[in-house]
Every structure is written in C-alpha cells, then in structure tokens.
Amino acid sequence: MGRVSRREFLIAGAAAGGGLLLGFRTGERAPALAAAATPPAFAPNAFIRIGTDGRVTMIIGQVEMGQGMYTSMPMLLAEELEVGLDQVVVEHAPPDDKLYGNPLFGFQATGGSTSVKGLYGPLRRAGATARTMLIAAAAKRWVVDPASCRAERGAVIHTASGRRSTYGALAAAAAEMPVPEHVALKRPEDFKLIGTPAKRLDTPAKVNGTAQFGIDVRLPGMKIATVAASPVLGGKVAGLDEGKAKAIKGVRQIVRLDDAVAVVADHMWAAKQGLAALAVRWDDGPNAHLSTGDVVKGLEAAAQTPGVVARKDGDAAAAMAGAAKKIEAVYEAPFLAHATMEPPNCTVHVQKGSCEVWTGSQVLSRVRATAAEVTGLPLEKVVVHNHLLGGGFGRRLEVDYVTQAVRIATHVEGPVKVVWTREEDVQHDVYRPYYYDRIAAGVDARGRPIAWTHRLVGISILARWLPPAFTNGIDIDAVDGAVQLVYAIPAIRVEYVRHEEPVLKTGFWRGVGVTHNIFVVESFIDELAAAAKQDPVAYRRALLSKSPRARAVLELAVKAAGWGQPLPAGRGRGVALLYSGWDTYVAQVADVEVSPSGDVRVHRIVCAVDCGTVVNPDIVKAQIEGGVIFGISGALYGEVTLKNGRVEQSNFNNYRVLRMNEAPAIEVHLVRNNEAPGGIGEPGTAVTAPALANAVFAATGKRIRKLPLKPDQLRSS
C-alpha cells in the first residue's frame, strides 16, 4: 500500500505481481445515522485491481442478494474508469468494517436500500481517480500533457498522435503516480453506462446451476447437520431419545445445546430423519402460554401512554380541538416471516486455533465477530467466505443462524454444514414486529385536514441492532415514512412509543418501519377522503402543493392506470403514495377484485417511481416489480401467529406467498432526473399494502385496518 490522498481518502499502490491497486474509504454519511457511526480511519473501502494483464477486478463490499449489487456497483466504478462492464470481474469482499463499511451504517452492511444512495459518489470518485492516474502514467511515458490524452475501454489514447496503451501496460507505472487530490467526474450527459439497462453480471451463472449460494458449499470431509431449536423462545431441551436417532444409517453425531439439538450426518436426509427420531422434549419456559392476543394487549395498553415526539409542526392538540370534526382509527400490522427461498444455513470448520465460516450474509463483519466470540478466538483467526444470498429481505442482517452453527461446529470434528428446514425457518425467524398505531385527524368544514396526530407503538429494532442509532427514545427506522408525511397539514404530531414484547425475535423485514407506516398513513388519508366524499386522488393532490416530486409521481401513476375509468362490479382501484428516508417517491395504483367469498385478486399494479439518478433502469424496475410481489404476499396472506408460545405456521402451505397464477400485471414508470439517487429495494413493498387496502375499500366499501386483508373480513355472501 502506498500513498494516501488526504482530501479524497484514496489510497493507491502496487498490486501483488505488479499492476495498480486502488482503494478508498467512503467519507459520505447520511446525517441521520452519522452520529451512530464510528469515525472513519484512513482505510480503503473498496478496491479496483488492475493487473498487468489488463484484467480489471472490482472487489465489492456490498453483497448480492438479487438486488443487482454486483452490477450497479461495478457500473459506477466502470463509468468513471472508462472500462466496459464486459471487461470487469467481480469478487466478493472479505469482512472488514474499516475497509468496506457502509457509509450509512458505519460498518459493513447491505440493507435498508442504502447501497447506491451511499456509494454513488465514492465509487465514481474511485473510478475517476484510477483513470486519472492511468492517464498521468501514459502522459509521462509519452511526454505529453495529460489533458491531451483520453481513456476509452481500458486504454489511454493520445488524441493527436493516436498513440495507445492499455491499462494493463500502464498499471505498474500508474501505481507510482501521485494520488490526485481532485478528480473531474464525468457530466451526466457523457455517461456511457450509468442510466443504461446494462446486463447483470451475476445472471449467467444463475441460469445454469453453477452459481454458488451458501447452501451449495461442499468441502472434503464435510458433514451435514439439521437443527431444532426450542419451539418457544426461552425454552430448553428437557430430554431426547439418542439411541433411535443413532440407529439411522448415516447419522454420525447428536449435538445437544441448551436451547437446540442438531443431528450431524452424512447427508440431509439422514440428519432430518435423525432429528425426527430424537423426539426431543422441551421445557418451554416462561413464554409457554403466550399467544398473539397477549402481545396485542400489551401494545394496546402501551398505546394509551404518550410517546416520544418524532415530528411536531404547530400545535396539533389545539388545532384538533378547533376542528369541525375529528376522525380516529387504530391500525395493526402482524408479525411476518421472511421465508427467503434459500433457508438459513451456515458451514463452519472449527479447528484448534482457527475457524472458517462459509455463508451468505448481509453483515459479514458480524459473522466474523460472532464466530470469534463463540470460539474464543481472536478476530484474525476467523476467516469468512461470503456467498451469493438466496434472498435477504433483512433476514440475513441477523447472525443468529451463524452463531448457532458455530456453537454446533465446536462439537464436531471437521467441517459441518448446518441447514435449517423450512419449518425451522418459519418458526425461528427474526420476524417483522407487530405494530399498533393510533392515528387521528381534525378536519375543517370542507373535510381538509388541519391537525394530524399519529402515535405508533412497537419494539425498537435499532435499539438492539445498532444501539447508537437509537437516540432520545426515537427509533428512526420505526418512524420512517411517518415523520416525512408529504401532505401540507398545518399541525402535525408524530409520537413513538417503544414497547418490547420478547415472545419472538424481531428484526428488519424489507422496509420494516416504512412498510408499516405507509400502510397506516395512506390508508388513513383515504379514510379522510372518503369522509369528505372526495376522490382519493383529488384529495391527495390538493395537499401536495409543497411536494412537486410527490405530486408528479401521483399524476404519472393515475394517468397510466386510467384512474376514473369504469371497472366491472366487484372491482376497485386504490392509490397510495410513498416518501421516506429512502429519498424515493413512489405512487401506486392497484386494481383489485374481491369475490363474494372475500378473496382478493390483484389484476394490475401501476407504479410511478422517482428515485433521482437511476444507475440501471432495468434493475430499478425489477426491484420495484419484486417489491410489489413481496408486498402483495404480505398484504394478502402474511401473518405469523402464536399459540402457547409457538409459531403456528410452518411452511408455504400455511405461510402462503404469492404464486404465478395469482400475480398481477405490473407496470413501472420511471421519472428520470439528476437528483441524488434514492433507495429502490424496499419502496415497492412499502407502497403496496395501502394501495391494495384502498382498492379493497373502493371495491367493497370495507375499510380494513388490520393486515392481512383476509377473506373473513371481506366476505359478502
């Protein structure tokens, strides 16, 4: 490693075997989370490696879980470096918070729709710096002014003479060049890659079976284990029938932990059968008799107490008192499981003095830390190999399954792959929390809101997951979407009541805070429109004078959806609008049909999206499409319930998700501009439930305030 540029915090040096190695640390932070992050060191954050053979390798600290990270991140680098995506090889980065910390979290995490938002500037600057150094090296060699040279597809060209040298030939010399303090970034009109629907780099391996997910790891001498943890949180193993399990061919070992049992075998089938044969008896512990109703009672009681004020405009209480009419409602959103298609799994090899881990994780440095903690080894003795993720959605922001696998592996000779069954996954997830919201508006004589109070009650994920981000009693994620209310209402008060219900582990779930808040806010605005006997679009439009971008997406979506055109009986259109800390605006129009038996069929979804600068419009569209489907699954079917402390759902038969024959036509319209990029992984999910609930209201006149939109709430015959 060589010299460091103080201004840009870029670091350059010679790569092993010659060539140029360039890293940087990301210095940009979102104000909201900046206080939570540790101060950055002079350490590089991601790397470009240019070999003397001209091979350009990009080492990506963000993980690929379907959201196109291994394409959009390289696009940012390649744009400024002046190489084609076809000239780039992507490598998974190892865990290292200092090197690969997410600027918006302060450590290495992929989630919260933050990657493009946080890395758009830093990755481009890194690419531009490498390009500048390569040009400088060529100019020096040719004794010409660097300004007379240009870069193109991995080569530097002296425009006047036509002399040309490849990056590979220049890489070693470039490594000797000073790191420039300022680099010129390309103007948006000169972009060759950014803004184009470039092909994804990860797709070819995913259509022929060669892509390696964590679950596909195979090592010499590796055993396979499957596990059962206590069905009730806090329960312990009370007894088991070891003999029967060991009699099964292929079963090698039973590992008994205090709260879980694993069967280690030659293959998954023997492990599964062994686990069944163990007939584990459990001591259920203190949560043995709890049900969902107990959780709701706790939330309900907490909702009677005032919360911490998260937004205050004017005097909401006074405005409410002076209103012509007050409208109030309670909304509820259930526990939800992630059910990533790739079930949780982790392969571990514990040896004397070392530990190796193979898994797919959104938080690699935490994988490493938990393995070190369980084994008692120093961090540097833990090696983590990251893999493609078969879905993240927030599930793989947790390392519970890694911790457990390492605990098991400490009892096993040789490497062991611990694979959860789907039943284990659905019943031991880190669930989207249950939320309980009290919301009210005071309206004037024409039905327009003049006062707005929103008290939301739920557990704080950030207080556990990123404690420094939980400040002054506010979980900025839990209130996200509620505090950014775009409607022009003179008096607004948003309160947050933290209420912990330790009956299930809870965590992030594709847009968690926003997903629940937008459901509440956009359903309630619809209620106000209905109370005022106004069209839901016209009612919103009149409140959007101060938010032109929100208004623009609304207009685009309603026009494309044919808002106002007649629909057959039993059908209805609903609209919802989203703006939140992701800095993305989305409007959605849903067209649904409700059958006499109360089943909801979604016919068509139209989304208009303004996420500022678009890196890859096809990836943005795919993320919105996928987010919408995820949102429909949640809104129509998603519900995890508890009885006697146990989760009642177990697999895709009773934790239903949307299927091909139920999937609507989805249209995504993008607004293109040069605003700062916003997040796109989660908005599609968050905007969907309220659009559906509002469409159901339009179709049936029934206002559903508690998700999911179950047939028994909607039956008419």
Partner 1 sequence: MVTLKINGKAHTADVPPDMPLLWVLRDVVGLTGTKFGCGAALCGACTVHLDGQPVRSCVMPVAAVAGKNITTIEAIGNTPSGRKIQQAWLDLEVVQCGYCQSGQIMSAAALLASHPHPTDADIDAGMAGNICRCGTYSRIRAAIKHAAGG
Q: Does 362 bind partner 1 (CB under 8 A)?
A: no
Q: Does 68 bind ligand FES (CB under 6 A)?
A: no
Contacting partner 1 within 196-215 (CB under 8 A):
197, 199-200, 202-213, 215
First and final CA of the chain: distance in angstroms? 73
Least spacing, CB of residue 685 vs partner 1, in Å? 9
* Binder of partner 1 out of 39, 306, 660, 712 (CB under 8 A): 660
CB-based closest residue to ligand FES: 341
Of 46 and 628, the one with the shorter C-beta distance to partner 1 is: 628
Q: Does 442 bind ligand FES (CB under 6 A)?
A: no
Least spacing, CB of residue 515 vs ligand FES, in Å? 19
Q: Give one DSSP letter per residue of 281-330, joined into a string.
A: EEE-GGGTT--HHHHHHHHHHHTTS--EEEEEES-HHHHHHT-SEEEEEE
Contacting ligand FES within 457-476 (CB under 6 A):
none
Q: Does 205 bind ligand FES (CB under 6 A)?
A: no
The string over 510-539, giving b where at least 16 C-beta atoms fall within 10 Å of a residue's C-beta and e elsewhere, is bbbbbbbbbbbbbbbbbbbbbebebebbeb
* Binder of partner 1 out of 350, 409, 615, 629 (CB under 8 A): 629
* Binder of ligand FES out of 19, 23, 51, 66 (CB under 6 A): 66
Nearest to 424 by CA among 335, 347, 344, 341: 344
Of 415 and 627, the one with the shorter C-beta distance to partner 1 is: 627
Contacting ligand FES within 184-203 (CB under 6 A):
none
What are the structure tokens assigned to 291, written together?
């049900």
Least spacing, CB of residue 65 vs partner 1, in Å? 5
The Cα–Cα gap between 542 and 707 comes to 28
Q: Does 676 bind ligand FES (CB under 6 A)?
A: no
* Single-letter amino acid, residue 513: G
Q: Could you give the C-alpha distances from 108 to 35, 61, 85, 366, in angstroms and in order?
A: 16, 7, 25, 8
Least spacing, CB of residue 652 vs ligand FES, in Å? 8
Among positive and negative, which fits the CA dihedral 684, 690, 691, 693?
A: positive
Of 391 and 678, the one with the shorter C-beta distance to ligand FES is: 391
Please return the burial class of 17, using the count of CB atoms within 10 Å of its CB with bins 0-12, 13-18 and 19+: exposed
Least spacing, CB of residue 247 vs partner 1, in Å? 13
Could you tell me which residues are beta bridge partners of residue 87? none
Least spacing, CB of residue 392 vs ligand FES, in Å? 10
Contacting ligand FES within 337-396 (CB under 6 A):
341, 391
Q: Could you give the C-alpha distances from 254 to 248, 263, 346, in angstroms and in order?
A: 12, 5, 18
Least spacing, CB of residue 631 vs partner 1, in Å? 9
Nearest to 168 by CA among 190, 182, 153: 153
The string over 584-619, giving b where at least 16 C-beta atoms fall within 10 Å of a residue's C-beta and e elsewhere, is bbbbbbbbbbbeeebebebeebbbbbbbbbbbbbeb
* Binder of partner 1 out of 166, 196, 471, 651 (CB under 8 A): 651
Of 393 and 697, the one with the shorter C-beta distance to ligand FES is: 393
State the residues that interact with ligand FES by CB under 6 A.
Answer: 66, 341, 391
State the residues that interact with partner 1 by CB under 8 A.
Answer: 64-68, 197, 199-200, 202-213, 215-216, 218, 224, 249-250, 266-269, 272, 339-343, 388-393, 419, 421-422, 618, 622, 625-630, 651-653, 657-661, 663, 665-666
